[in-house]
Amino acid sequence: MPCLILDIILKKVKNLNKIIYAIMLLGLMGAVPGICGEKEDLFASISALDIQCQDYALCAPLSKKQQAYALKHLEKTNSEKIYRFRDNNLNIVADKETHRVLVMFQQFKKVGQQAVQDLLGHLFITYGDPTVSAHDKLVYWAWGEKEKFTADQYKAARENQRQLKIIATVKLNSEVNIMEKGKGQARGDLYYIISSDPLLRFFKDS
């Protein structure tokens, strides 16, 4: 059965083929292992990583103030397990039972290369150097149970044909080339998403 949370995101972001490609790439990184322990253990491990975005953090529970805000800004879902809302331009999906943040994502339509670079710069400042990038359009930050994986760790794992045990990611996807010169006039869609693939398996439609 498809994951309801991913279904929600796919309805919000038009570039389905790019999302599928992103998931495939993360699969090569080891981001799609079997279920990684119990749900509560994952919540605790990911929350401890403190992966923040604006006033929210992945797998951290919403404050009472945030819950009240969410209640006033709910968006339609077909799930009994989750709810979603938007705080300015940030989309948030949370667990109904625990009010913990499951997914955060933001999208931008028809932006130029400078806007892509500005967002990437902001993500660099927030999360540090990325774990891997591809095709000048995809950038990933990936965390294990204790810390973010470095590019060298990813490279070594790939060379040794060893999978990294990834429990959380920040993924940026741009239709516009990020650094290639001569693309200053090009425009396209852009989004980034913060989530945990192992955790989302607990929220499959049953």
Task: Name the domain count of the chain.
Answer: 1
Q: Which amino acid, residue 200?
A: L
Provide the pLDDT confidence category of residue 181 given band limits of 50, 70 and 90.
confident
The answer on pLDDT for 205 being more than 80 is no
The CA distance from 111 to 115, in Å, is 6
Q: At what angle do helices 16-29 and 4-12 cross, to 10 degrees?
A: 130
pLDDT digits (tens, 9 = 90+) for 79-110: 889 999 999 999 999 999 999 999 999 999 99
What does the block give as tokens for 191? 């989004």
Closest CA to 75 of 67, 83, 65: 83
H/E run at residue 84: strand 82-87
Residue 165's pLDDT is 94
Range of the domain at 123: 4-203
Q: What tens digit of pLDDT does each residue of 25-51 get?
A: 444 444 333 443 489 999 999 999 999
Compute the average pLDDT of residues 169-176: 96
Count CB-CB contacts under 10 A for residue 185. 8
Average pLDDT over residues 192-205: 90
